[in-house]
Amino acid sequence: MRLVLLGAPGAGKGTQAKNIVSKYNIAHISTGDILRDEVKNNTEFGIKANQYMKEGKLVPDELIIEIIRNMLVKDGGKSGFLMDGFPRTLLQAEKFDEMLASLGQSIDKVINISVEPKRLIKRLTSRRVCSSCNNICSISNNEDDNEGCPSCGGELYRRKDDHDEVIKHRLKVYEQQTKPLIDYYRKNGLLFEVDGSGTEAEVTERILSIL
Ligand code: AMP
């Protein structure tokens, strides 16, 4: 199964992606996670990407397309995948279609998780990530960052781009550059809309009923 997960920052793509891939045993490809690893390891690529990421801008298309191309070449496009955070521009979507076609593959379904903008900001400002198991969770107003990961007790941290000014910019970038993908995939007949409100389990249930 070859899936693409669309949605604004804070729509719950990362959380839902984990639930979907564990059910279908397919690879979870998060370009955000790949880039954060490159930044952490201080690679040449990570140093370049970090300039854009810390300001909430998109990393240039050619860099991202290169990552995905290498990944597909290595795998031969044989295994299933769920793309989380890719494609994010029309050019990325077109190049992705071309890369898959050259391997005799295509996307099966595109799931768009929609959440109202006010709720997105709230989710992003309260989002924390576990430094040991990468679990994504949300802190309530009364808790502090050291409360610990609900899954493993590990230390939680706030992503550098989950701060007010950067969040605003990321949402603007989403509106201008990524939202047009909804129409692109609708025209291709691949788009399925999912309401992203409610609990994590409710949203997972809605997605699984489509798959
Ligand atoms: P995410 O974890 O998906 O929210 O991504 C974090 C940041 O990584 C984004 O704000 C971008 O700077 C960068 N990024 C991730 N995926 C892409 C992509 N497909 N195209 C361009 N930049 C990306």
pLDDT, tens digit, for every residue of 57-78? Answer: 999 999 999 999 988 888 765 7
Looking at every residue in the chain, the average pLDDT score rounds to 92
Residue 84 has pLDDT above 60, yes or no: yes
Please give the Cα distance from 120 to 167 (Å, whole number): 9
Q: Are 154 and 128 in contact (CB under 8 A)?
A: no
Residue 142 has pLDDT above 90, yes or no: no
Res 75: pLDDT: 74
Q: Find, among 76, 73, 61, the residue nearest to 31 by Cα.
A: 61
Residue 129 CB contacts under 8 Å (≥ 6 apart), including other chains:
135, 136, 137, 156, 157, 158, 159
Mutation choice for ligand 1 from 30, 33, 34, 53, CB with most ligand atoms inside 8 A: 53
Any idea which residues carry the catalytic annotation?
13, 88, 127, 159, 170
The residue nearest atom 8 of ligand 1, judged by CA position, is 32
- pLDDT (average), residues 115-136: 90
Residue 48 CB contacts under 8 Å (≥ 6 apart), including other chains:
59, 63
Residue 119 has pLDDT above 70, yes or no: yes
Mutation choice for ligand 1 from 4, 13, 34, 35, CB with most ligand atoms inside 8 A: 35
Res 74: pLDDT: 80
Mutation choice for ligand 1 from 4, 6, 30, 31, CB with most ligand atoms inside 8 A: 31
Per-residue tokens: 9 = 């920052």
Instruction: Read off the pLDDT band of 138 (50, 70, 90).
Output: confident
Residue 134 has pLDDT above 90, yes or no: no
Q: Which atom of ligand 1 is nearest to the CA of 35?
A: 8
- Per CATH, the number for 2-26+79-113+168-210 is 3.40.50.300
What is the CA(116)–ligand 1 centre distance, in A? 20
What is the CA(82)–ligand 1 centre distance, in A? 15
> Could you read off the pLDDT of 33-49 as tens digits, one per residue?
999 999 999 999 999 99
Q: Which residues line ligand 1 (CB under 6 A)?
A: 9, 31-32, 35, 52-53, 56-59, 64, 85-86, 88, 92, 161, 170
Q: What pTM was estimated for this model as a whole? A: 0.90
Residue 144 has pLDDT above 60, yes or no: no
Q: Which atom of ligand 1 is nearest to the CA of 57?
A: 12
Task: Domain ranges for the chain, please list them.
Answer: 2-26+79-113+168-210
Please give the Cα distance from 28 to 74 (Å, whole number): 15
